[in-house]
């Protein structure tokens, strides 16, 4: 799926599927997002850096207008 982040945000991120990386700036723009086998939604900055959200966290970001789902 593709999402749009409406304003730059600093989000907790993971690097290389295992290491937690420091909070990462996600500038406003379009990003790819995937559903993981664990049932989380990952928003990708690069192949190595991503932010993970539960459905409720993701839904909250959408309802606040921080994220807009462009394509499902």
What are the residue boundaries of the structural domains of the chain, listed by start? Answer: 2-71
What backbone phi and psi angles, to 5 degrees, belong to 62? Answer: -70, -45
Q: Using an 8 Å Cβ cutoff, are 50 and 42 in contact?
A: yes
Q: How far apart are the first and last CA of the chain?
A: 5
31-71 confidence digits (pLDDT tens): 999 999 999 999 998 878 889 999 999 999 999 999 999 98
1-19 confidence digits (pLDDT tens): 999 999 998 888 887 656 6
């Amino acid at each position: 799926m593709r999402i749009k982040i409406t304003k730059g945000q600093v989000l907790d991120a993971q690097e290389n599927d295992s290491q937690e990386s420091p909070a990462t700036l996600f500038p406003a723009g379009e990003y790819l997002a995937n559903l993981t086998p664990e049932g989380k939604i990952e928003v990708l900055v690069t192949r190595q850096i991503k932010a993970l959200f539960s459905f409720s966290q993701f839904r909250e970001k959408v309802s606040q207008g921080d994220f807009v789902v462009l394509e499902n």
